[in-house]
Amino acid sequence: MSGPLAGTIHLSQVTKTYPQALRQVHALQGVDLTIEMSGFYAVMGPSGSGKSTLLHLMAALDQPDSGTIEVADCHLENLSEGDLTRFRRHHVGVVFQQYNLIPTMTALDNVALPGLLDGWSRSRRLSRSQELIDMLDLEGREHHRPDALSGGEQQRVSIARALFFSPAVLFADEPTGNLDTVASQHVWEILEKLATEQETTVVMVTHDPAAATYCREVFVLRDGRISGSFETEGLDEAELATRAQQLGR
């Protein structure tokens, strides 16, 4: 193979240190990671191991101190400020544990927000928003504001918004951290479907082995480095949890 395929993620020797008053926090200490082609992947590891930091860097929300990051055919270190803005808006989507919806806007308008920011006409962005609302099983909820939606529905609105420009990669940081089992399963099924049917690469940080059973492969972080990875095929939830714990300690 000549090089990474579209949607591939490749990190080489990535480091990130947060300067603190009393001591430096070495959040990432040389991450090497390759995620091939489309698929649904999990990032696991103990609290403080650097999972969120890693996700932020891959989504270009922050920059590494050293090392290189390639996502969806873009070498992030080579991008200008303008290109980085376009990359964040068009090539990747990001979903967090908190849904970060605009409380005064309806579900339909929340999902359409990226189109508004990108100068799309109202009819064009609402038609795209409706398409995503339908895809995420939110029919009938279009005109509800976030406070009239369940946690699971709010998270699906936030996923729909992240998918507005059909990004090659969707990053999710503990997307079901605040949801009950049923709502969580619904979200995992949607993310899995995105990866298998739409060929989106989905990278999800999770503490939950049940979530990781939906993924093809699990990457484990320990002390700011990838300590190992394994494929989930044939593993049940308990076996998966054991594998992740072994690699995480």
Ligand X SMILES: Nc1ncnc2c1ncn2[C@@H]1O[C@H](COP(=O)(O)OP(=O)(O)OP(=O)(O)O)[C@@H](O)[C@H]1O
Residues that bind ligand X (CB under 6 A): 18, 20, 25, 27, 45, 47-53
Which of 48/65 has CB closer to Mg ion? 48
d(CA 21, CA 3): 42
Task: Give the one residue of 52, 110, 155, 232 binding Mg ion; rule: CB under 5 A.
Answer: 52
Partners of 217 in the beta sheet? 41, 231
Rounded Cα distance, 70 and 178, in Å:
31
The smaller minimum CB distance to ligand X, of residues 66 and 150, is found at: 66
Element (H, E) at 183: helix 181-197
Kindly state the tokens that stand for 180: 């009950």
* CA 58/CA 38 separation, integer angstroms: 16
243 binds, among ligand X, Mg ion, none (CB under 5 to 8 A by kind): none
Q: Which does 216 bind (CB under 5 to 8 A by kind): Mg ion, ligand X, none?
A: none
Instruction: Name the token pair of 128.
Output: 């795209």
* 124 vs 249 by CB, closer to ligand X: 249
State the residue number with the nearest CB to Mg ion: 52
Q: CB under 5 to 8 A by kind: which of ligand X, Mg ion, none does 27 bind?
A: ligand X
Q: Which residue's structure tokens are 């059973």?
A: 213
Interaction partner, residue 50 (ligand X, Mg ion, none; CB < 5-8 Å by kind): ligand X
**Cα pseudo-dihedral 90, 208, 145, 193, rounded to 10:** 50
As measured in angstroms, the least distance from the Cβ of 98 to ligand X is 12
CB of 105 to ligand X, least distance (A): 28
- Look at residue 7 and give the partner it binds from Mg ion, ligand X, none, a contact being a CB closer than 5 to 8 Å depending on partner kind: none
Give min distance, CB of 36 to ligand X, in A. Answer: 23
Minimum distance between the CB of residue 199 and ligand X, rounded to whole angstroms?
Answer: 27
247's tokens? 């690699």
Q: Which two tokens stand for residue 6?
A: 């579209």
Q: Rounded to 5 degrees, what are φ and ψ at 74?
A: -110, 125
CB < 8 Å & 24+ apart, contacts of 117-121:
117/89, 118/89, 118/165
How many other CB atoms are there within 10 angstroms of residue 42's CB atom? 27
Residues contacting Mg ion: total by CB under 5 A: 2
Distance of closest approach, residue 212 Cβ to ligand X, in angstroms: 14
Nearest distance in Å: CB 204, ligand X:
12
Binding partner of residue 129 among Mg ion, ligand X, none, CB cut-off 5 to 8 Å per kind = none
- Interface with Mg ion (CB under 5 A): 51-52
